[in-house]
Amino acid sequence: MESVRAVLIDIDGVLTVSWRPLPGTVEALREVREAGFGVLLVTNTTSRTRASIARTLAEAGFPVSAEDILTAPAATAAYLAEHCPGARCALLNSGDIAEDLDGVTVVDAGDTGAVPDVVLVGGAGPEFGYAALDRAFGHLQRGARLVAMHRNLYWRTAEGLRLDSGAFLAGLERAARVEAEITGKPARAFFASALARLGVGAEEAVMVGDDVESDVLAAQRAGVTGVLVRTGKFQPETLRSADGTPDHVIDSFADLPALLRGSAQQ
């Protein structure tokens, strides 16, 4: 850990659950910042914009601003600008993320005559009903590309685990016989963008997350040290069945400062 200069941090399940701080996380983030580490919050959250997330976290005491946050929608906007410039997108998402989809042309879901170039899938919610999914399936059959902000199957709330869009995405892929292009975690490009924002190399960063596959092992495949926390969506059986082994496993983000100092055990 001696070469680490920056920390990438997932939000939901790591710093907060249902946007309420987990014990010790506010103090731990302050300690990490005061120690001189670069910090970037990297999240697949698709229900809020960067500015909204920053306000909520700041009100809870976290020392962050919108510039400290990279969301899957913001990464998606950059991806579409590079790979599908000018594309008309049919958006299937729960929450208002228009501010982070700067430059993306979203067609009106109620316009039955619209022929989108891209079906854009965000996070799941009540909007993911039969009619919306069947409409997306029809667009894919007519040749639209399938772009998804993430593959998360579920996330942790104060009431327990909730189903996320990865479950629906798998069905769309199989039914339409296409493969989604992923723009958020676990895409390697997402981590590359985060590292570029911080101005560090992969060997100089750690990624802290509660999702062993999308957060931790994906970061390790990108050359970043992976730290798994036993909070949020963490489940022992998921760790046991994972495709690899995290570099470090700690009880919570509150233990990260000690790990960075080299005094915590894996």
Give the list of residues 6+ apart from residue 133 with CB closer than 8 angstroms, or none: 92, 168, 171, 172
Give the list of residues 6+ apart from residue 188 with CB closer than 8 angstroms, or none: 218, 221, 222
Query: How far apart are alpha carbons 56 and 58 in whole angstroms?
Result: 6
Q: What pLDDT sits at residue 35?
A: 95
Q: What pLDDT sits at residue 247?
A: 97
Q: What pLDDT sits at residue 157?
A: 84
Q: What is the mean pLDDT of each run of 10 residues along the chain (266 residues)?
A: 92 95 98 97 92 96 96 93 94 91 87 85 94 94 95 86 94 97 93 94 97 95 97 94 96 97 54
Q: What pLDDT sits at residue 262?
A: 80
Question: Other CB atoms closer than 10 Å to residue 73's CB: what's the count?
Answer: 31
Write the DSSP symbol of residue 56. Answer: H
Q: Which tokens go with 262?
A: 């080299």
Given a contact cutoff of 8 angstroms between Cβ atoms, the answer to whether 174 and 133 are in contact is no
Given a contact cutoff of 8 angstroms between Cβ atoms, the answer to whether 119 and 181 are in contact is no
Full set of structural domains in the chain with CATH:
6-44+186-263 (3.40.50.1000), 85-182 (3.40.50.1000)
